[in-house]
Amino acid sequence: MCGIVGYVGDQEAVPILLDGLRRLEYRGYDSAGVAVLHEGTIEVRRSVGKLINLEKALADRAIHGRTGIGHTRWATHGKPSEQNAHPHRSDGCVLVHNGIIENYVALKQELQRDGHHFQSETDTEVVAHLIGRHMKRGANLVEAMRAATREIRGSYAIAALCEREPQTLVAARSGCPLVIGQCAGATLVASDVMAMLAHTRDVTYLEEGDVALMTPSQVSITDAAGAPVRRTVTRVSWDAAAAEKAGYAHFMLKEIYEQPQAIRDTMRGRYTFDTGEADLPDIGLTDEQFAQIGRIWIVACGTSWHAGLVGKYLIEEMVRTPVLVDIGSEFRYRNPLVEKDDLFVTISQSGETADTLAAAREAKQRGARVVSIVNVVGSTLARESDGVLYTHCGPEIGVASTKAFTAQLAALYLLALHLARVRGVLNANDGRVWLERFVALPSLVEQILKRDGEIQAIAKRYYEKRNFLYLGRGINYPIALEGALKLKEISYIHAEGYAAGEMKHGPIALIDQDMPVVVLAPRDRLYEKTVSNLMEVKARNAPVIALVSEGERDLGNVADAVFTIPEVPALLTPILFTVALQLLAYHIAVLRGTDLDQPRNLAKSVTVE
């Protein structure tokens, strides 16, 4: 959600800002802008649409300076337009913002009564005016920022500069991420590390309420009241090359193909064959504490929520402990019945999703232990949890999540194994057998990827349809939801995921020859029931795309298209089905010609409610 980058140093700022914005564009892409300070004057360029438009505007009318800020926007208040694009300015200062200023209406009215004129419909512009007013009254930029943060309510990450203080940037954070990095001769600030990996991998994450003052050689951080605070430096293991397409047509395709490695990296060093155990040293709970857990909650949003639903089937089956799964935005507002001996698991690729973060805080306040499955090292969720299980899948750039999801599933398998062993539900021998099947998964994913052409051929037959239904049962019901979500996110085709047994209670009314039905039918104890559902679909003339276990013949005669997955125990089928469904959605979107790495209206990281 909105990308921010700031630079103060000895180089021309604009190329560095544009490079940073390019790497952050997945956060929002409806408009973009930069501002630089040159010989005491601020110059701003802004454009509607993708970053390329801003680059063209800058090529037409270049601006120069060694201190600057940039922004790529995902609109909340005010439609995407040049006037609403950031940076916003007032009284010799200029700023960019990610988040929502909730009391902006009252502040705007008060500022207008005080003679301030507004150029945009945004909530952000009030902050520029507040800072401008404090500076007019004698404050310097950092004092003005601190004063403004005491007046605004809501969530924000802000970076600002002003004409009176050359070679200075100021930033503030509450509710939205900001990270600072230093390299020889320069300091950078950004919404996430992707924007600065070309310059440094040693970064400092700001905490809630922090205000930072930056020059090319120094960074000083205080709390909102002005008291100095110390923040540690984190070394990021990703490098800039990990965020390139590396010859693939799209980031999404590259990330689909990275899944065998992402799953391997998530498994690596986290199990011991001899004892049949998972080794999770950073999990934050002792074996004794794990043994005493009453119930387990899993809370997440979007695709990560689907991983949570798989986690429920998995943990309840393997650990025989009740699991409650919830969506972050639902959980946080309904006075949830979390108990002190509950384990609270959150799942998030970014570690910054506002609703997931709020849910974790709520659970912590109620005394539960919070363990998070997170991809971004050092993210807010990772820092605020009692324990972390990192998915080591590298940066995920495609807005539609792929490798992060299957890596989350791999992490959940490890968590389930750990719980099952420490709670005495699974003995060492069964743990070993289970591990053998589990570690074979990445090479089975490779086998599916090699058969991409089969899925492409299916996509060619159905890409012009306007509605799809996805059916699954048990642990593959959430995979039906995820398959449908992938399709709608990137191809804009209406798709619904449904529990196969529930189809007769409504969606069957929609079925006709124009609605392909994707059925997930592994050979498990529910197989025959799923086949019955498929026959009901067929009887209503719907084209059926069946995903089945290898060697399955019954469905070949009934379904219009069949894709087989390698035979694995039922609990391990979700990752294999997922990869096939990701490829199906990808090829359909390519055939429809959508902008599938940056689908309309979506943002990768939802840092506002």
The catalytic residues are 2, 604
Question: What is the 3-state secondary structure of 44-69?
Answer: EEEEECCHHHHHHHHHHCCCCCCEEE
Residue 3 binds to ligand G6P (criterion: CB under 6 A): no
- Shorter beta-carbon distance to ligand G6P: residue 147 or 606: 606
96: left (phi over 0), alpha (psi -120 to 50) or beta: beta
Residue 38 and residue 35: Cα distance in Å, rounded? 10
DSSP 270: S
Instruction: Mark the segment that binds ligand G6P (CB under 6 A) among 163-171, 238-246, 530-538, 598-606.
Output: 598-606
318 and 425 Cβ atoms separated by less than 8 Å: yes
Which member of 98, 122, 266, 304 binds ligand G6P (CB under 6 A)? 304
Residue 302 binds to ligand G6P (criterion: CB under 6 A): yes
What is the SS3 assignment for 172? strand
Which member of 124, 348, 372, 391 binds ligand G6P (CB under 6 A)? 348
**Distance of closest approach, residue 294 Cβ to ligand G6P, in angstroms:** 26
Task: Return the residue nearest ligand G6P (CB atom).
Answer: 302
Residue 606 binds to ligand G6P (criterion: CB under 6 A): yes
Instruction: Mark the segment that binds ligand G6P (CB under 6 A) among 171-179, 301-309, 422-430, 589-597.
Output: 301-309
Instruction: Mark the segment that binds ligand G6P (CB under 6 A) among 107-115, 230-238, 245-253, 601-609.
Output: 601-609
Residue 99 and residue 94: Cα distance in Å, rounded? 17
Whether the ω angle into residue 322 lies within 30 degrees of 0, i.e. cis, is no
Q: Residues 382 to 421: which contact ligand G6P by CB under 6 A? A: 399-401
Short-list 298, 376, 300, CA closest to 27? 376
Q: Which helix (H) or strand (E) holds 23?
A: helix 13-24
**Distance of closest approach, residue 37 Cβ to ligand G6P, in angstroms:** 34
Which member of 191, 349, 476, 582 binds ligand G6P (CB under 6 A)? 349
Q: Which two tokens stand for residue 119?
A: 């150029």
Alpha helices in 509-550 (DSSP H): 527-538
Short-list 113, 605, 86, 89, CA closest to 397? 605
What CA–CA distances, in Å, run from 364 to 114, 332, 381, 511?
Answer: 43, 12, 12, 45
- Shorter beta-carbon distance to ligand G6P: residue 364 or 423: 364
How many residues contact ligand G6P, by CB under 6 A? 16
CA dihedral 490, 491, 495, 500 (to 10 degrees): -70
Alpha helices in 463-609 (DSSP H): 477-491, 527-538, 554-558, 573-592
Residue 122 binds to ligand G6P (criterion: CB under 6 A): no
Q: Which helix (H) or strand (E) holds 357?
A: helix 354-365
Which member of 122, 191, 259, 350 binds ligand G6P (CB under 6 A)? 350
Residue 379 and residue 381: Cα distance in Å, rounded? 6
Instruction: Mark the segment that binds ligand G6P (CB under 6 A) among 96-104, 350-358, 421-429, 443-451.
Output: 350-358
- State the binding string over 205-244 for ligand G6P (x if CB under 6 A, else -): ----------------------------------------
Q: Which two tokens stand for residue 295?
A: 């119930």
- Shorter beta-carbon distance to ligand G6P: residue 564 or 605: 605
Residue 301 binds to ligand G6P (criterion: CB under 6 A): yes
**Distance of closest approach, residue 150 Cβ to ligand G6P, in angstroms:** 29
- Shorter beta-carbon distance to ligand G6P: residue 118 or 492: 492
- Shorter beta-carbon distance to ligand G6P: residue 251 or 271: 251
- Shorter beta-carbon distance to ligand G6P: residue 439 or 602: 602
- Residue 321 identity (one-letter amino acid): T
- Shorter beta-carbon distance to ligand G6P: residue 33 or 599: 599
- Shorter beta-carbon distance to ligand G6P: residue 155 or 303: 303
DSSP 228: B
176 and 191 Cβ atoms separated by less than 8 Å: yes
Which member of 67, 259, 303, 372 binds ligand G6P (CB under 6 A)? 303
Short-list 83, 155, 70, CA closest to 606? 155
Which member of 47, 90, 353, 533 binds ligand G6P (CB under 6 A)? 353
Give residues in contact with ligand G6P (CB under 6 A): 301-304, 348-350, 353, 356, 399-401, 602, 604-606
